[in-house]
Amino acid sequence: MLQTQRKDLADIITERRSINSFSDKPVSEEVIIDLLETAKWAPDHGVREPWRFILCLDNGKEHLLEAMLAYNSQCKKPKNPDKIRAKIMGPSAHLLVINNAETNRKKWEENYGAASALIQNFQLCAWEQGIGMIWKTGSYIDNDTFKEAMHIDSDETIIGLMQIGYPDQIPEAKPRTTVLNKITTLK
């Protein structure tokens, strides 16, 4: 049985793709919460659970859009607001993954690793259910105007913005380098 589960997990890992094009089919809040309940079992040094989430659905996407447009207005090279609107309104949901403030560098790195593992668990659990997403980390994640608009403390760290939805298109896999080119074995 363990071998079968392992193969299924391996398939999910290798078949998962970052999705940029979403269908109109909504992903419910309940489904997202259930996925996060599983994803929270990520490796987490000291079980600090450093994360919190802001889930943007329906009118919440409008709030996120306003925050993005406020950030965009401060950029040296602002993007087309219509393109920003399409990126925000297209996916069914957006999830901001935020880590607690941490001044100790070692703990900050451990917390970042834990949140990253949670995000990967979240993506894999979603993919298993036919839900796709993409992990975004634009320069807005460090912008005080964006953070304030989204009710994020200036010393908290945004680990990523997950755009979530059912895929409209699934891109082809990009080639990966064999691990044999990346490993040094000491015997």
DSSP codes of every residue in 92-151: SEEEEEEEPP--SHHHHHHHHHHHHHHHHHHHHHHHHTT-EEEEE--GGGG-HHHHHHTT
Does the annotation place 21 within a ligand binding site? no
| Cβ-contact 159, 114 below 8 angstroms | no
Place of tokens 């207005």: 73
Answer for the pair 38, 125: CB distance below 8 angstroms, yes or no: yes
Identify whether the C-beta of residue 163 lies closer than 8 Å to the C-beta of residue 129: no
Whether 106 has a binding-site annotation, put simply, is no
Is 135 annotated as ligand-binding? Answer: yes
Distance of CA 148 to the CA centre of its chain: 20
Residue 85 is labelled as binding a ligand: no
Flag whether 77 is marked binding.
Answer: no
Residue 74 CA, distance from chain mean position: 24
Known binding-site residue numbers for FMN: 16-18, 45, 135-137
Known binding-site residue numbers: 16-18, 45, 135-137
